[in-house]
Amino acid sequence: MLYTRNCWECGEYHAEKNTGMNHLDILSLYGCCLLNGIGGFVFGSENSASSEDSYVERFLDRISNGVLADDRRAAMAELQSLVAESSSAQMAFGAMGFPILLNVIKEERDDVEMVRGALETLVSALTPIETLHASKNAVQPASLNSDMLSREAESISLLLSLLSEDDFYVRYYTLQLLTALVTHFPKRLQEAILSIPRGITRLMDMLMDREVIRNEALLLLTYLTREAEEIQKIVVFEGAFEKIFSIIKEEGGSDGGVVVQDCLELLNNLIRNNASNQILLKETIGFDPLVSILKLRRGSAYNFTQQKTVNLLNALETVESLLIGGPAGDPGKDANRLSNQTALAQKKILDHLLLLGVESQWASVAVRCLALRCIGNLVARNPQNLDALASKQVGEEPHVEPALNAIFRVLIRTSVLQEFVAAGYVFKCFCEKNSDGQALLASTVTSDASLSSHATLDVGVSMPFGSMLLQVLISTEANEDFEACSRAASVLSHILMDNVQCKERVLRIELETPVPTLGPKEPLLHRIVKHLALSTSARNTKDDNPAISTGESYTEQLILKLLITWLADCPSAVNCLLDSPPYLTYLLELVSNANSTIWVRGLAAIVLGECVVFNKSGQNGRDAFAIVDAISQKIGLTSYFLKFDELKKNFTSLSTSSHQRKPITRSNTASMAETEDVIENEEKTEDGHPILVEIFDSQFVNFLCKLEGDIRERVVDIFSRTKDKVTVLPAELEQRDGEIDEEYIKRLRSFVEKQCSEMQALLSRNAALAEELVRTGGGSGSDSSQKPGGSSSRERVQSEALRQDLQEAALRIEKLKSEKLKIETEATNYRNVATKLEADLKSLSDAYNSLEQANLQLEAEAKALRKGEKAPYPDIDAIREEAREEAQKESEAELNDLLVCLGQEQSKVEKLSTRLKELGEDVDALLEGIGDDAGLPEEDDDEE
């Protein structure tokens, strides 16, 4: 079977075979590259000043054809040294050396020194050599050699067989060679080892070997178990969990070195998105060894090394995998998640997570963020764990405070965006489907005389949760710290999500104005909208600066998310917002502001839509009709609906750019100078800001999409009917001087009929235009699209009506076609049934006729017997004669067969007699009496 492969050097695709290719065949695939550049080293290019290829060929000849063992060993050592230092020598070795060295390993197993040298040379040939002047697109000889060797299934089996050798270095170099292969071509080596009987078992046995061998086998298994479910099952079956935690304990737990990191990486490969392995881990050795890795002593900051940070990150990743429960779509995921949450909570893991994520600020940012996310996953949709977090205290006496207060302080004070996102994730998980927890937090949000808009953000330990929240919200104006306000708004949005009682409770909070003598108290909702306007104003003043600060990029989105959450299903909140007309004007301007981002314009349009959908007011200028009129006049319905479409497009791009956090491995931690960079590199997306992924999670996006449909439907409904109240009384309704009652009534009737007809026409046009705007969502916000009497509008309405008629006609035609086909099918079935019935009837008729003839014959015979006539009898003599002839024929046939058999026996006797005479035997004496003996019984039988 042929495949195509992208050449490393030229980028062209070459055909290659999947199996049955030797090394020269592989090299032929890259011929266009080997004849240029690095390939010149192999074939003696004139541009190459090096002669390593000739040395390689000379050494291989001495190894293959040498007579003296010492000379061959010396050639092997020199070849290994040359290949380890030169890329050109690696390329030359790959062209001609693999068959020779593999033959040495296969045929000379007794010569341990030669096998050891061959393995070390192969490892050197597969190890990349870094050069200063190498180009990025140049062929890597180590990768090419790995490609050649990994294609040979027999070579992998040969290498695995070496693991049973007694020599330490043979086993050591074999594991190094397999590791080099799996780093270049993991899928190919995974399939090859799976196809070899007891291949994984041999590797697992190496974990019980000497420390150096064990560490190499551990590293190899971490590569083999990545995204390989079959290998994972075999490794777990071979007792991997017990061996992993035994090695971790020997190495010192989280204080251990890179071996602990490899053990935890292997553990994560085995349980990530694998519910069955998670259950097996829980039921065999339990979670105690895992929790012990996370145990820290308070104040142990001085021994918090970078390797310990990596080890803790791997252990936290293990905890997170257990708390997720399994892959998405697995029917048993939720049950497994709840079971793991309960089991881990019983091991007091919440205390260790709070110590890592909240109390130990000397820990790295990556550890704190991952610990906070584990806290959120631990309590998510678990009533017992939610209660435990709500009542948990952190700190040491006398500085003890609730855990949620401490997490909120982290959320407000941190300068790292990822830590803010992680702390917000805790509140999201705590409030999700937890109405009691939301009510508990909302009950602490009360207006206090001690709170002031001029207060600082230095919230104390003794302050209740709600007081801290309000302090941050109302002190923004004085400090101009709109970032802190937006962070507090994100927490408040979680408290109010899908909880009408909490929305009503917080809505009743009133705050003192900056100058109390200028007016009464203002609701908290108005203060938040005011901060949104101030944030927008601050952003507009810095438009000339291309470097946008961190807070400005998401402040408005977070506050708008709070407003959307608050107004949903809460008419009193909508009424409170509309109590201040300037806020409606500000929202209209924000939607049409070209300097705002697509996110801000789209979310502001959603807020306006909520003022229409959840508006129960009947006051003039504040009802849904007035809001739609304002949108139509200030923005234009077409432009307004375009904001929804732009927002949905960004939802799609955001979901495609967001990705799961990459597993922590040796490769991605070794390249990082600081462990704090781990989470930053993992969380960034192409859309410009990592917090957007957290704001627009799947739950909130689905909520916005449903809300958008309700807004469009509500706008169509408003355009299809008039207001209930008549605000202007026409002059025609007044009775004129000297006009009699009959004429006045007649004039009124004609006026009402005229108004009714015009009203119906306007309503039908408005409904058609609104439906068209909702469907298309495109076009421009010109006046012609807003005036129902325009000619273009009438043409669009007529064309739409014709299109609908055409669609209905097409549907009717399709329906008639289907009915016709159904009738034809039924007719064919009936025709087949009728044919079958006719055939059955004919057979019955024939049977009836034959029965009738037999009956007539029997009746004739019966009549003849009754009359005394002789019935015709069969001719007995004729029957006897016929039987005699048949018996004679049969006897003749049997006689012929007997004569044939006798003839065959006679020929056998003659041959045997001839042979006996040749041997010197008397044939007549042997045959004498044979016939007589055989005939005696027959004579006795005859006498009897």
817 sits in the region (left: phi over 0; alpha: psi -120 to 50; else beta) called alpha
- The H helix count followed by the E strand count for the chain is 47, 6
Short-list 393, 382, 388, CA closest to 434: 382
How far is it, in rounded angstroms, from Cα 305 to Cα 310? Answer: 9
User: What single-letter DSSP state applies at residue 735?
Assistant: P
Q: Which residues pair with 402 in a beta bridge?
A: 393
Backbone angles phi and psi of 394, in degrees to 5: -125, 165
Per-residue pLDDT, 44:
40
Which amino acid appears at position 578 of this protein? Answer: L
Mean pLDDT of the chain: 80
Q: Which residues pair with 394 in a beta bridge?
A: 401
Lowest-confidence pick of 187-191, 192-196, 802-806, 914-918: 802-806
Which amino acid appears at position 667 of this protein? Answer: S
The beta-strand segments (E) located in 428-550 are 510-511, 522-523
Count Cα neighbours of 706 within 13 Å in the Cβ-side half-sphere. Answer: 9
pLDDT bin (cut points 50, 70, 90) of residue 822 is: confident
Q: Which residues pair with 819 in a beta bridge?
A: none
How far is it, in rounded angstroms, from Cα 907 to Cα 917? Answer: 16
User: What single-letter DSSP state applies at residue 891?
Assistant: H
Burial 641-656, CB ≥16 within 10 A → b, else e: bbbbeebeebbeebee
Token duo for residue 357: 């994520």
How far is it, in rounded angstroms, from Cα 939 to Cα 666? Answer: 105
Residue 636 or residue 349, greater confidence: 349
> Would the CA dihedral through 715, 721, 727, 732 be positive or negative?
positive
Q: Which residues pair with 396 in a beta bridge?
A: 399
Q: What is the pLDDT of residues 363-409, one digit of tens each?
A: 889 999 999 999 999 999 999 999 999 999 998 887 899 999 999 99
pLDDT bin (cut points 50, 70, 90) of residue 210 is: very high
The three-state secondary structure class of 265 is helix
Which amino acid appears at position 363 of this protein? Answer: A
Distance, C-alpha 406 to centroid of its chain: 34
The three-state secondary structure class of 470 is helix
User: What single-letter DSSP state applies at residue 475?
Assistant: S
Place of tokens 């924000």: 590
Distance, C-alpha 311 to centroid of its chain: 26
User: What single-letter DSSP state applies at residue 516?
Assistant: G
Q: Is residue 446 scored above 90 in pLDDT?
A: no
Q: Is residue 824 scored above 50 in pLDDT?
A: yes
323 with 378: CB under 8 angstroms?
A: yes
Query: Which DSSP string corresponds to 779-821?
Result: S---GGGT-TTSHHHHHHHHHHHHHHHHHHHHHHHHHHHHHHH
Please state the rounded mean pLDDT for residues 861-880: 68
> Would the CA dihedral through 351, 353, 357, 361 be positive or negative?
positive
Q: What is the pLDDT of residues 549-597, one digit of tens each?
A: 444 468 999 999 999 999 999 999 999 999 988 999 999 999 999 888 9
Q: What is the pLDDT of residues 7-43, one digit of tens each?
A: 433 433 343 433 344 443 444 444 444 434 334 433 3
Backbone angles phi and psi of 393, in degrees to 5: -110, 145
Q: Which residues contact 838 (CB under 8 A, 6 or more apart)?
A: none
Lowest-confidence pick of 188-202, 455-469, 669-683: 669-683
User: What single-letter DSSP state applies at residue 355?
Assistant: I
Output Rg (C-alpha) for the chain, integer angstroms. Answer: 47
Token duo for residue 361: 């600020």
722 with 763: CB under 8 angstroms?
A: yes
| Nearest-10 Cα torsion for 43, 44, 47, 48 | 100
Backbone angles phi and psi of 285, in degrees to 5: -105, -10
Short-list 607, 610, 598, 609, CA closest to 692: 598
Query: Which DSSP string corresponds to 29-52?
Result: HTHHHHTSTTHHHHHT-TT----H
User: If 0-12 CB within 10 Å is exposed, 13-18 middle and 19+ buried, where does residue 222 land?
Assistant: buried
Q: Is residue 445 scored above 50 in pLDDT?
A: yes
Q: Is residue 770 scored above 80 in pLDDT?
A: no
Short-list 260, 327, 330, 324, CA closest to 290: 260
User: If 0-12 CB within 10 Å is exposed, 13-18 middle and 19+ buried, where does residue 405 land?
Assistant: buried
pLDDT bin (cut points 50, 70, 90) of residue 49 is: very low
Helices (H), 151-285: 153-161, 168-184, 186-194, 199-205, 211-224, 229-237, 240-251, 258-271, 275-284
Per-residue pLDDT, 4:
35
Which amino acid appears at position 215 of this protein? Answer: N
Burial 668-679, CB ≥16 within 10 A → b, else e: ebeeeeebbebb
Helices (H), 568-615: 571-578, 581-591, 598-613
